[in-house]
């Protein structure tokens, strides 16, 4: 199937990814860190907005790279995709989390590495399922149009 995605689809993909992550992360991290749900919820929304913008930019560049090099999205490629995405996100999120939570950059980095343990498999699984559902939808749409 094609990897050409419209801006509307990229927005849907990024928003779906972030909304599900927010629903999981805000209450769990609030409980784990002993921070109010409102305070943690505000931080997760800020991180989510940064992540959505990064998601759209990163995935656009990744799709272009895939078209240029012609590789398949195998499990190793998906793991590399998730790792590179998260590395870029760490650079933006750690300073924000340190400031918001009133902790050192090192403590925020450790917290972010803990969060990474959730997001690495989540990113791989979400994108894999999204791609499968997208392929099914596009195939069904092509069958409907051709009949």
For 69-81, how does the pLDDT look when each residue is reduced to its tens digit (9 = 90+)?
999 989 999 899 9
Does 135 map to a domain? yes
Residue numbers of the domain that contains 65: 7-141
Does 127 map to a domain? yes
Q: Using an 8 Å Cβ cutoff, are 50 and 96 in contact?
A: yes
Query: What's the structural domain count of the chain?
Result: 1
Does 50 map to a domain? yes
* Chain segment 3-28, per-residue pLDDT in tens: 677 888 888 988 898 889 999 899 99
Does 1 map to a domain? no
Whole-prediction pTM value? 0.66
Does 48 map to a domain? yes
- pLDDT for res 5: 79
- State how far the Cα of 29 lies from the Cα of 37, in Å rounded to an integer: 9
Radius of gyration of the chain measured on its C-alpha atoms: 17
Does 147 map to a domain? no
Does 146 map to a domain? no
Nearest in space to 29 (alpha carbons), one of 120, 117, 129, 124: 117
Does 2 map to a domain? no
* DSSP letter, residue 103: -
């Amino acid at each position: 199937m094609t990897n050409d995605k419209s801006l509307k689809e990229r927005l849907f993909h990024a928003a779906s990814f972030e909304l599900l992550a927010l629903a999981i992360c805000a209450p769990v991290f609030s409980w784990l860190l002993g921070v109010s749900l409102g305070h943690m919820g505000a931080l997760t929304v800020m991180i989510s907005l940064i992540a959505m913008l990064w998601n759209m930019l990163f995935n656009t560049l990744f799709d272009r790279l895939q078209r240029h090099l012609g590789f398949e999205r195998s499990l190793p490629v998906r793991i590399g995709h998730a790792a590179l995405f998260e590395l870029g996100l760490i650079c933006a999120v750690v300073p924000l989390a340190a400031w918001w939570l009133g902790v050192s950059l090192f403590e925020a980095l450790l917290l972010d590495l803990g969060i990474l343990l959730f997001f690495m498999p989540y990113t791989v699984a979400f994108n894999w399922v999204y791609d499968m559902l997208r392929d099914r939808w596009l195939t069904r749409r092509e069958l409907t149009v051709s009949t």
